[in-house]
Chain A
């Protein structure tokens, strides 16, 4: 698969300013902008980095340039949500998609382990798509838990938070210049794990229509807080209540910015 991707990247590079992908050197692996003439034998697919955020930054810095990106399923979904919020321009992006393995899908509880190129102006997928993996069992177990049990669970988890902001920093959908999480109106400045988890609840609300389940936030969390359980629940709700699936359809507008007349709500009885 890597060879196929490299071949495709090599073919496309002459017409692009560069391709965002991971580069492996002696000292480590990290995002890199491959340009024509670069050594593509250094292009690798692991580990995970938020490449969509790199694309966004490059496109903003170079508003005329066309880039390519080597993206897995969740990266492509993230790019879809970013496009809707003017963080990337799909017209200036060539998507080199690749499929994750069944093992990887299981590890991430990923429902869609291959990029969906529908709606993308220019895209290509390498690899044979595998079936989606079942959801995180913790999400199902959640229904069984009493309010007291849920409270105990999250109190224990949130007490570990060291306020690194890593979950926000790594998130491709967190791009606001001014962040509510840094506003002392909402989140206490300078306090580690305050008793009421404003930080996490505010972030969960903000993720509701954006989270594409890339799970980078959980991977980056030094306190190992299972953040995606909360985000999975919110994503499920937004599907059930507003009929919206983040990252699925580049043409579907984000639901919370629409009026009822735009047809984004199943019926208000259900909501109240």
Chain B
């Protein structure tokens, strides 16, 4: 039996509100605002209050998928990543670094954006990296 609150940051706009995720025995059971946070000050909007509802949604992707005809088949991580590395490598070899593009993400963390641009710039040697900042 374990109940705690994990403090994190809301994902539903740029305000940067604090979110306490109530975790009971390894599952999220609710959300509390944080009264001591300088921006959200103990409040949230309806999106913030419900920020964790999709985390265990049945539609969540739980395994890598590889295209098969019109649909997908499940694949192992090794197979999927190998396939990406291999095919991207082939395109790189045939058409050069500028034929590959990367979309970073305004929804992912700073560290993840850093790593993706580092991958694009150091391994593929392209500056073709952008995200939907403008959208």
| Chain A interface (Cβ < 8 Å from any Cβ of B) | 17-18, 20, 23, 27-33, 35, 47-50, 54, 57-58, 61-62, 65, 162-166, 169-170, 219-222
The 3 A-B pairs of least Cβ separation, nearest first, read A30-B5, A33-B3, A222-B43
A17 and B1 in contact, given A163-B46, A166-B49, A220-B43 (Cβ under 8 angstroms): yes
Per the bound structure, the CA–CA distance linking A191 and B35 in Å amounts to 27
Residues in B with CB closer than 8 Å to A65 are: 1
Query: Do A166 and B36 touch (CB < 8 A)?
Result: no
Query: Do A61 and B24 touch (CB < 8 A)?
Result: yes
CB distance from B35 to the nearest CB of A (A): 4
Residues in A with CB closer than 8 Å to B5 are: 30-32
Query: Do B49 and A30 touch (CB < 8 A)?
Result: no
Which of these, A33, A57, A220, contacts B4 with CB under 8 Å?
A: A33
Per the bound structure, the CA–CA distance linking A33 and B1 in Å amounts to 9
Residues in B with CB closer than 8 Å to A31 are: 3, 5, 22, 32
Query: Do B2 and A33 touch (CB < 8 A)?
Result: yes
Which of these, A33, A47, A50, contacts B36 with CB under 8 Å?
A: A47
Query: Do A28 and B7 touch (CB < 8 A)?
Result: yes
A164 and B34 in contact, given A33-B3, A57-B29 (Cβ under 8 angstroms): no
Residues in A with CB closer than 8 Å to B32 are: 30-31, 49-50
The verdict on B44 contacting chain A, using a C-beta distance below 8 Å, is yes
Query: Do A30 and B42 touch (CB < 8 A)?
Result: no
0 or 1 for each of B29-47: is its CB under 8 Å from A? (1 = yes): 1101111110000111110
CB distance from A128 to the nearest CB of B (A): 26
The verdict on B20 contacting chain A, using a C-beta distance below 8 Å, is yes
Per the bound structure, the CA–CA distance linking A35 and B32 in Å amounts to 21
The residue of chain B having its C-beta at the shortest distance from the C-beta of A62 within the complex is B1
CB distance from B50 to the nearest CB of A (A): 9
Which of these, B1, B30, B42, B49, contacts A35 with CB under 8 Å?
A: B1
Chief secondary structure at chain B's binding surface: mixed
Per the bound structure, the CA–CA distance linking A54 and B2 in Å amounts to 12
Query: Do A219 and B35 touch (CB < 8 A)?
Result: yes
Residues in B with CB closer than 8 Å to A18 are: 1, 3
The verdict on B124 contacting chain A, using a C-beta distance below 8 Å, is no
Residues in A with CB closer than 8 Å to B3 are: 18, 20, 31-33, 54, 58
Query: Do B18 and A28 touch (CB < 8 A)?
Result: yes
Q: List 28 A-B contacts (CB under 8 A).
A: A18-B3, A20-B3, A28-B20, A28-B34, A30-B4, A31-B3, A31-B22, A32-B3, A32-B4, A32-B5, A33-B4, A35-B1, A49-B32, A50-B32, A57-B24, A57-B29, A57-B30, A62-B1, A162-B46, A164-B45, A164-B48, A165-B46, A166-B49, A169-B49, A170-B33, A220-B44, A221-B43, A222-B43
Residues in B with CB closer than 8 Å to A29 are: 36
Per the bound structure, the CA–CA distance linking A180 and B43 in Å amounts to 22
The residue of chain A having its C-beta at the shortest distance from the C-beta of B33 within the complex is A220
The residue of chain B having its C-beta at the shortest distance from the C-beta of A53 within the complex is B30
Query: Do B7 and A58 touch (CB < 8 A)?
Result: no
In chain B, positions 63-113 with a C-beta closer than 8 Å to chain A are none
CB distance from A172 to the nearest CB of B (A): 13
Residues in B with CB closer than 8 Å to A170 are: 33
Residues in B with CB closer than 8 Å to A28 are: 7, 18, 20, 34, 36-37
The residue of chain A having its C-beta at the shortest distance from the C-beta of B18 within the complex is A28
